[in-house]
Amino acid sequence: MIWNKHLSFEGKHAVLSPSKYQWINDDEEDIVKRLCATYAPTVGTLLHEEAKNFIAYRSRMTKNEKRSVAIHLLANGVPHVVLDNIDFDGMFANVCAYVNDAVCMHMSPEVVLFYSEYCFGTADSILYDEKNRILRIHDLKTGITPAKMEQLYIYAALFFLEYNYIKLSDTKTELRIYQSNNVLIDEPSIDIILPIMEKIKQYSNIAAGMR
């Protein structure tokens, strides 16, 4: 038997994949929803891009931008049917709240926080207020799965490791997650952040030693 070659598809997974066989029990409405869900990462990425630009140029986002944001998604490969099947109004309102708070607080978007090649990450928006010694880190979530604050704890730990001249004990840390048009706020204590900093150092050393 000489098998047909499909080199461009090797290592990839189909939307209607045999390994995710549940779709054979879907009706047409269900399959449209399943197909729309595959665009969630793309929608999230594009919304983050829009938010980054507004924050970088210190421009507040108003209701008037809703159409241009939708066009940005459509122009970058998101089908119109996807926008019809997701809560785009809710997503846009969530992005607006995130952007406008970041602009008002003079935050910087998409900042990489680095400790080692094994542990680094990009904060959606961040500010360190030197005068008042306040660290703010905000995270924009476009998915529906409830986000955990632990991700932001790690960002904070990375910040204090990278900028180690700033004392954790002298800094007020405020973390925010913007999701589903709600804002989750936390002000973690030293007892939360410091152990994570120690684990980052310890586990980075272990990862380096494995080489």
pLDDT in tens, 138-183: 999 998 889 999 999 999 999 999 999 999 999 999 999 999 999 9
What three-state secondary structure class fits 112? strand
d(CA 201, CA 211): 16
User: CB under 8 Å to 162, separation ≥6 — which residues?
Assistant: 113, 114, 115
Q: In this structure, what DSSP letter does residue 4 have? A: P
Tens of pLDDT along 107-150?
999 999 999 999 999 999 999 999 999 999 999 999 888 999 99
- pLDDT category of residue 79 using cuts at 50, 70 and 90: very high
Do 122 and 88 fall within a single domain?
A: no
Give me the amino acid identity at 50: E
Q: In total, how many domains does the chain have?
A: 2
Which tokens in the block code for residue 78? Answer: 């998101």
Do 99 and 134 fall within a single domain?
A: no
Q: Is 29 domain-assigned? A: yes
d(CA 58, CA 60): 7
Burial (CB < 10 A; 0-12, 13-18, 19+), residue 26, is middle
Which tokens in the block code for residue 149? Answer: 């604050």
Do 79 and 134 fall within a single domain?
A: no
